Amino acid sequence: MISNWGPALVRTFRGTSAPMTYVLIGLCCLIFALGPASGFVPSYGTGDALLAAQRAYFRRWGVVPAELFDHPAREALTPVTALFIHGSWIHLLGNMLFLYVFGAMTEERLGRVEFTLFYLVGGYLALLGYAVANADSEQSLVGASGAISAVLGAFLYLFPRARVTSLLPFLFFLPLRFPAWVVLPFWAALQWLAAGQAAQGPGVAYLAHLVGFTLGFGYAWVRFGRTTRVGAAPVTVPEGENQP
């Protein structure tokens, strides 16, 4: 039975219309499981030793704005590696849910290669934009939200009438359906307001969300023009994900 898993996975990969979305989700989950934040690897220790290992891990693979500009050659790839590193289970699962919901349809429209490059470049520029705005920060920045925000921006342009089922906390998580042109600009506005109130220095990377979202929308606008928007099937997503 085990010997049949490989061919079965290959057939599944070839049969789906959005394989790279699932590859990206799988990579993020695998890398998280092997890192110190998952709790699966006992060699990282416990207590203070585990916290020290997590800080070192995030600093090694995440974006540290001050180091990015002090040592640009050495740190140039960290805005890419940071896209696959997550700080907690909630951080990981929230990002992967958004990528799963919005990534597949966007990939179908862009194509596998273009979607992958779009995801990586959009995420890179989103984190770079955050680093430029916080050039003196010594805090590590990790997470796929910049790239996923770019996907959200492209999705909004390509599928503005898609019905998005949102779970709104202030309405007791009642599932309500709205078109993407209502939900996603509302999400972007929340990021804008949160970024404007982040006066205590870096924390949640709201600015990276805004940069990614704007880049994604702008790319889809330039790439496809006004005549290629299409309708879409309903999608479901919880409102208010704010992790970096």
Answer yes or no: are the C-beta atoms of 141 and 62 closer than 8 Å.
yes
- Own/partner pairs, 197-203, CB within 8 angstroms, 24+ separation: 201/134, 201/137, 201/139, 202/65, 202/130, 202/134, 202/137, 202/139, 202/141, 203/139
The Cα–Cα gap between 147 and 126 comes to 7
Distance between CA atoms of residues 185 and 207, nearest Å: 15
| Residue 91 designated active-site | no
Length of the chain, in residues = 244
Which of the following is catalytic: 91, 137, 166, 209?
A: 209
**71 catalytic, yes or no?**
no
Catalytic residue among 137, 140, 145, 166: 145
Q: Using only the alpha carbons of the chain, give its radius of gyration.
A: 18
> Distance between CA atoms of 31 and 55, rounded to whole angstroms?
16
How far, in Å, CA of 3 to CA of 9, rounded?
Answer: 11
**Residue 186: other Cβ atoms inside 10 A:** 14
- Euclidean distance between CA atoms 150 and 59, whole angstroms: 24
In Å, how far are 8, 32, 103, 125 from 244, measured between CA atoms?
34, 15, 17, 14
Q: Check if the beta carbon of residue 68 is closer than 8 Å to that of residue 129.
A: no
Show which residues are catalytic. 145, 209
